[in-house]
Amino acid sequence: HPFDDGTAACLYRDVDFTADSLGQDKRNYCKLMKPLVRDWEKLSAEFLQPMLHLPRHPIALAKFGMRVLCPTTLLANLFFKGNPARALFAGVAAHSFLPLESPLSSAFGFVLGSAGHAVGWPIPIRGSQTISNALAAHLQELGGEIETNCKIDNLQQLAEARAVLFDTSVWNFVQIAGNQLPDPYRRRLQKFRHAPGIFKIDYALSAAIPWRSDKCRRAGTIHLGGTLEEIAAAERDIAHGKLPERPFVLVAQQSLFDETRAPHGQHTLWAYAHVPFDCNVDVSEKIEAQIERFAPGFRDCILARHKTGTTELEKSNPNLAGGDISGGAANLWQLIARPVFSQTPYRTPLRGVYLCSSSTPPGGGVHGMCGYHAARAALRDIFAKR
């Protein structure tokens, strides 16, 4: 997380090393993060399922819950005295796509921050497509078939089956199921709210980004947003449908660690800015200005760029409605009722029909747990397997 003076705050795998780098906030950073890292295995098992469940680790979860109800801005100002610690936590919390004054926005700072310490933020070698390829290959090994280039508009198009799992957005499911859904359930789904969108740019570069801070030259993920106050103001504007002059930008520079991502001596990079839901404004200049702000000379390294706005994202994947990559807003209500208030929110009123996208718990991310829990529900309901 770089700053205008050429310094940067960093989250390292080692909690103590990270805390030491934060100077006067060392003790409080350890106080906040060490218990979460210590209990990571217990807590992650609780996070990665519906909120309405009987906790297996109630004490650890209760301690965590007392912290995360606090908005990011309040928590950061209460616990940290220095700008580096405040901004570092705010940058991680901004993954929530929530205004940082919102309750639960700090949950993302805690969960993703403690994950960074406990297990790291991994990079798939040869790109994220390899994950999809591996899953598809495993399905085919088990005798499954995958049919592509076939748009489903209604349930009648589907082959007869005991169970059907929809990896679609809530809105798309409503369009497909139509009047077959009971009115009360359909109305609840229609009230589901999406998160803000993103504007993404993929770059081919002649060299690595010339970050002013050497720490940024050794990091896989960079948060560009300046101070806590600047990030909070930008996210507040986004929530109100306005484009900030300096949006929060996330940069991923995997080619520093994965040589398969670019020709020898060159690099690739992607970056995205938070934008209002369904915003069709080209913000590439704002993104590049933010990168150039912390890495003077960045534009001189650009060989090619590919821009993807909210409309293009939704066209490439209808689940990304309005450019929302989270599967829906992660506000307090939609963390509890995602997409409906139920211990088994994957189950729909239609016999054998389930939702399994990131519009169900535990939400967006590369974890596969939405599908896992939906499949478990189908096994219990239809196939009488625990």
What are the tens digits of pLDDT across the range 244-258? 999 999 999 999 999
Q: Is the predicted pLDDT of residue 79 greater than 80, yes or no? A: yes
Residues in the chain: 386
pLDDT, residue 52, reads: 78
Tokens of 177: 């199921």
Residues 172, 319: contact at Cβ < 8 Å? Answer: yes
290-329 pLDDT tens trace: 999 999 999 999 999 999 999 999 999 999 999 999 999 9
Residue listed under structure tokens 């589907």: 158
How many CB atoms neighbour CB 248 within 10 A? 26
Residue listed under structure tokens 């200005």: 289
How many CB atoms neighbour CB 168 within 10 A? 19
What does the buried/exposed string (b/e) look like for 21-45 if buried means 16 or more CB atoms within 10 Å of the residue's CB?
bbeebbebbbebbebbbebbebbbe
Hey, what amino acid is at 29? Y
- Within 8 A by CB and 6+ apart from 147, the residues are none
Residues 356, 345: contact at Cβ < 8 Å? Answer: no
Hey, what amino acid is at 347? R
Confidence of residue 184 (pLDDT cuts 50, 70, 90): very high
Q: Is the predicted pLDDT of residue 71 greater than 90, yes or no? A: yes
pLDDT, residue 190, reads: 94
Terminal alpha carbon distance of the chain: 45
Question: CA separation (Å) from 305 to 294, 302, 309?
Answer: 19, 7, 13
Confidence of residue 48 (pLDDT cuts 50, 70, 90): confident
Judged on CB neighbours under 10 Å (0-12, 13-18, 19+), 63 is middle
Confidence of residue 67 (pLDDT cuts 50, 70, 90): confident
DSSP string, 89-136: HHHHHGGG-S-TTSTTHHHHHHHHHHHHHHT-----TT-THHHHHHHH
Q: Is the predicted pLDDT of residue 62 greater than 90, yes or no? A: no
DSSP string, 317-381: -TTSGGG-SSSS---HHHHHSSSSSSSSTTB-SSTTEEE-STTSTT-SSTT-HHHHHHHHHHHHH
Where exactly are the structural domains of the chain? 15-118, 153-193+326-381, 197-312
C-alpha span between 35 and 32 (Å, rounded): 7
C-alpha span between 97 and 325 (Å, rounded): 10
The whole model's pTM is what? 0.94
C-alpha span between 273 and 200 (Å, rounded): 7
pLDDT: is 316 or 67 the higher one? Answer: 316
Judged on CB neighbours under 10 Å (0-12, 13-18, 19+), 252 is middle
How many CB atoms neighbour CB 79 within 10 A? 18
pLDDT, residue 57, reads: 72
pLDDT, residue 98, reads: 97
Overall average pLDDT of the 267-272 stretch? 98
